[in-house]
Structure 1
């Protein structure tokens, strides 16, 4: 979650940057383009800029080009999904933002010079983590996932017995049929969202072509209000998945791909609240460990020392920390199996972290 949170927050920052002249450069490199070819295109643009009449605007462009060239030289090869570099001069200060761990591939090479950064090549890159979606009604269910916008269908289920319809058959048979169907839905949810069902046939049915599914960070359940609530309250889900359910059941029209889309749209507020809660939980853990004199540090110097010891589990940084400082922190944390969380200004605990230099880290073990 947290690295995705970082990308989304940084991209929002980039999209809000403005200059009074066309001195901001946006460069996007797709994964299939070699860095050598990308550098050649940058060099061509640099040569063209050198031939321009020197004034305040073109001097800013030259400085941005030098920065982009320097960033590209830091890489031995193009990252798996490409990269994007945003550089320029704002208010007399040079700024640079780099995205090299993207959720989706950069679609094509782009080189733009303007008074605003062009973030369109990364429009699909930011994500909010992967959440499960489950819509259940009498005799029908749909399972899917969402990463913040829209829904991807994982499986649809339908009972093959007439007893699962709400009006046919004897009452006892209908209730038994519904219980059996709920059990099947819960089992399929375990396949899709926990990846712990040894039944290969069931796995193939639930997730065609995808034998390995990463666990979801949370689960949203919807459907007809009575049926979905009954499914949740009677404890059909694996307890580990039940603990990931975010809120009460949501009223959704039908158990289908359209129903999953409706559910994804309706739970946006809950998803944002869940992400905020996760950030504040990280902050709480940081300060609890710090106050106990245990596995936590604050301040840039101590955080970098902890990274040197490869003791970092999670780096936390306030949104005021410049992107050029966030990038190396995130890279070093990820290299040692950790992550980075960017803390928004309205999160509980933000001011304390800001007072400590804006940076801290939760550690795997205390360091002397």
Structure 2
């Protein structure tokens, strides 16, 4: 899916890094404060809430916890002064508290995330021994736009699955008569009228779905259809849907209910198909990479070869494992720079230059940011690859989490 306004790969990675850092922090007792502020929440109301919480914190029995909570709230209140009447687009999230740094020591931190990847839905104030990151993690989960249809011969509902959020949109009830015919009607005539009513209802459901889905067909990742058998089979086999929407159907599933709750049941039943559809994008990238690796000349892998190709501008797509957690250490070796690829938690290693001299460390930075900076400068597209399938896991385990598909062969 490529929605207008969707955050870039770089933005997604930066948010993911911040979330990982926040999840590592711990506080002694309930003294880490998290506040989620939606875009339509007046800052003055938030300030009033924080002021009230600061006052109530004076009742905390532990002096250290009381002091830390009040200091965190004061820091948040100071940050809120930078906003006008409302927070930025999509809202803002503030984190503040005294985190444990070991040896009985703490360090007060305050972090602000403006305009997260998706709009914040509601105001939340949270005070605990950990920062509240789950809403942000849900925003960073794999996204998708799927059309949903559930129907039987009595009713139907149509809606969206946007990311993890189900949105019911339209519903319809049928005039299909029951299987028992009314008195005075021949069995043949009754059967014909019933089939006509079923056909008319299927057309009505298809019209609802087409009106909703066709304008978004370029952004949709697929369509899911649910209901009892044989209803859903008749509906799909009858080609009632617009041909472009019919082509996007990725599965049909048995669903007992066809009211709004049926849309949620449909998503639950389709989890395996949804996971396969999401990871298929990554699979296609890796299949192309392995095809070039085994029979072509347009594959590069490993940090140093891929970096050299990036600098040359020969990489069309940079493939990075989502589980890559490495740093790049840049060493000053006189008239040139040399590099080492190291674990993020490892100490910076000593390095001997090619000429035998002892190198000085010029810089150490996140490997993904290092490579993406070069990719941005060269017009190279960056793709993050999941490890939830075999070839994605091989990118991490066998190729160091870094590979690329070239524009042209370089021999590097």
Say whether the fold is shared (TM-score over 0.5). Answer: yes
Displacement after TM superposition at 1:219 (Å): 1.7
Structure number with higher strand proportion: 2
Counterpart position of 2:276:
273
Distance 2:193 2:101 in 1: 71
Where structure 2 has 5 or more consecutive residues not aligned to the other structure, the ranges are 42-67, 69-74, 80-86, 103-110, 182-188, 327-343, 345-365
Displacement after TM superposition at 1:102 (Å): 0.6
Counterpart position of 2:140:
126
Distance 1:346 1:97 in 2: 35
Q: CA 1:115 to 1:284, structure 2 compared with 1: closer, same or farther past 3 Å?
A: farther
Deviation sequence 1:42-94 (CA, Å, 0-9, x none): xxxxxxxxxxxxxxxx9xxxxxx9xxx9xxxxxxxx97435669898989xxx
Displacement after TM superposition at 1:18 (Å): 5.1
Spell out the pairing of 1:220-239 with structure 2 (5 A cutoff).
220-239=224-243
Counterpart position of 2:24:
17
Displacement after TM superposition at 1:227 (Å): 0.5
Q: CA 1:152 to 1:18, structure 2 compared with 1: closer, same or farther past 3 Å?
A: same
Displacement after TM superposition at 1:299 (Å): 3.7
Counterpart position of 2:402:
359
Larger relative contact order (C-alpha < 8 A, sep ≥ 6)? Answer: 1
Displacement after TM superposition at 1:361 (Å): 3.7
Q: CA 1:142 to 1:183, structure 2 compared with 1: closer, same or farther past 3 Å?
A: same
Counterpart position of 1:177:
197
Question: Is 1:194 aligned with 2:214?
Answer: yes
Deviation sequence 1:288-324 (CA, Å, 0-9, x none): 2444435554344536854984964564424133595
Spell out the pairing of 1:167-316 with structure 2 (5 A cutoff).
170-195=190-215, 215-254=219-258, 256-293=259-296, 296-300=299-303, 302=306, 306=310, 309=313, 312=316, 315-316=319-320
Distance 1:343 1:152 in 2: 27
Q: Return the TM-score normalized by structure 1.
A: 0.60
Distance 2:372 2:256 in 1: 39
Question: Is 1:343 aligned with 2:386?
Answer: yes
Q: CA 1:97 to 1:362, structure 2 compared with 1: closer, same or farther past 3 Å?
A: farther
Q: CA 1:345 to 1:187, structure 2 compared with 1: closer, same or farther past 3 Å?
A: closer
Q: CA 1:9 to 1:172, structure 2 compared with 1: closer, same or farther past 3 Å?
A: farther
Q: Return the TM-score normalized by structure 2.
A: 0.55
**Greater Cα offset, 275-284 or 303-312:** 303-312
Contact residue 330 and residue 339 of structure 1 kept, 8 A: yes
Max radius of gyration: which structure?
2
Contact residue 27 and residue 111 of structure 1 kept, 8 A: yes
Distance 2:308 2:17 in 1: 21
Q: CA 1:170 to 1:267, structure 2 compared with 1: closer, same or farther past 3 Å?
A: same
Distance 2:112 2:254 in 1: 39
- SS of 1:221's partner is strand
Root mean square deviation, CA, Å? 5.4
Contact residue 144 and residue 152 of structure 1 kept, 8 A: yes
